[in-house]
Structure 1
Amino acid sequence: MKKITLIAMMLLAVTAVAQDKMMTKTGKITFEASVPAFEEVKAKNDAVTCVLNPKTGEIASLALMKGFRFKVALMEEHFNENYVESDKYPKSTFKGKIENFDASALTATPKDYTIKGKLEMHGKSKDISMTGKIRKTDGGIEIISSFYVNADDYGIAIPSVVKSKVSNKVAVKCEFTVK
């Protein structure tokens, strides 16, 4: 009987902790590595998971690399096979914290917050910092951030044949509404 009571209490505790987190599975990440005067190198993933703990400001996201869609199918194929090697490195993750985050102080007007954490991609991990615009909406908490990453920081080599057509400095934009 004691074991059943203990198990029931543990399940209740896990459920209570899980309710403290807000999440989405329909977040968006867009990246662009275009170079002027050449074909656009841009992709979007509309199925990114993001989890926010509104009490602590801890935030994490996960994007499947094969979820990025390009206008040109051949670019998508090259991205997955030659650049990010999606079969070997299927996902990209970010784990971090929103500094001085106070969910109770959020309003409909976006406020700038610093988000710091670790971005892992292509088997490499790097500390990054970005500014995020965060606001309260009818649908939850909206988080929008933009930052740059260097492909070579993550061991992603750009072949010399296309080096002048693809930027090593990649602009990344994230849009999440967690509920």
Structure 2
Amino acid sequence: MKTNQILKVCFVFVALCSTIHVTGQKLVDRNGHVAFQASEALFEPVEAKNESVTAVLDVATHEIASLALIKGFRFKNSLMEEHFNENYIESEKYPKATFKGQLMDFDIANVTDAPQQVRVDGKLELHGKEKAIETYLNVGRAGDAIVISGSFSVTPDDFDISIPSIVKNKIAKEVIVSLEFKMKEL
């Protein structure tokens, strides 16, 4: 084979391999942040953070999934955390929250340092119930990571979570859920 032919074959092989790698690429964050805020004005803040949420993004299919262990949510008030796990979410019976969805009109090649809004459609499962979630998330690049962040709202009723009447006025009717994932190659 002539040198030009060898170079062409090598170039085609490299191009095919890089295409296969990109289309099969999965990005992951094992320390994602999810927080919620359910506070009513004039009362003690009802909020918690979980900083060990796992999220996976399939670059080829634009599917995104995340898993948060309920007992990973930390409150400032330990009694509030105990009530959250035992009385409201029943974390022994329902130990995790999951989200499975798809980034719509998403192309990783178009992701830049300047975050852009991308629509996500999916389902959040919590307390044994599912709820459709449609929202916009900010997607941008930060170094070698794709950063996905944003928020959406849900209600305790969406997941059949009973709030006792004695504290009902201290907990917001709408719960704001915020998230941030720094996705990197596996």
TM-score by length of 2: 0.85
8 Å CA contact 1:158–1:168 kept in 2: the answer is: no
Q: Give the residue type in structure 1 aligned to 2:127.
A: H
Partner residue, 2:79:
74
Q: Give the residue type in structure 2 aligned to 1:155.
A: D
For 1:116-174, what per-residue CA distance to the aligned partner results, in whole angstroms no more than 9, with x for missing partners? 00110000011111110000111310000100001111011111010010113100001
1:119 and 2:111 aligned:
no
Partner residue, 1:43:
48
Structural mapping, 1:101-120, within 5 Å: 101-120=106-125
Higher alpha-carbon Rg: 2
SS at match of 1:104: helix
Partner residue, 2:33:
28
1:137 and 2:142 aligned:
yes
State the Cα RMSD in Å. Answer: 1.4
Q: Name the CA distance, whole Å, in 1 between partners of 2:128 and 2:93.
A: 9
Partner residue, 1:5:
none
* Structure 1 residue 17: Cα displacement: 9.7
Q: Name the CA distance, whole Å, in 2 between partners of 1:103 and 1:72.
A: 40
- Percent identical among aligned pairs is 50
SS at match of 2:81: helix
Q: Give the residue type in structure 2 aligned to 1:81.
A: E
Bigger shift: 39-48 or 136-145?
A: 136-145
- Residue ranges of structure 1 left out of the alignment (5+ in a row): 1-15
Q: Give the residue type in structure 2 aligned to 1:143.
A: I
SS at match of 2:136: strand
* Structure 1 residue 18: Cα displacement: 10
Q: Name the CA distance, whole Å, in 2 between partners of 1:67 and 1:120.
A: 16
8 Å CA contact 2:34–2:177 kept in 1: the answer is: yes
SS at match of 2:161: coil
TM-score by length of 1: 0.89
Q: Give the residue type in structure 2 aligned to 1:68.
A: F
Residues 18/70 of structure 1: CA separation in 2 closer, same or farther (3 Å cut): farther
Partner residue, 2:65:
60
Q: Give the residue type in structure 2 aligned to 1:44.
A: K
8 Å CA contact 1:56–1:101 kept in 2: the answer is: no
Q: Give the residue type in structure 2 aligned to 1:42.
A: E
SS at match of 2:169: coil
Partner residue, 2:15:
none
Q: Give the residue type in structure 2 aligned to 1:147.
A: F
Partner residue, 1:4:
none
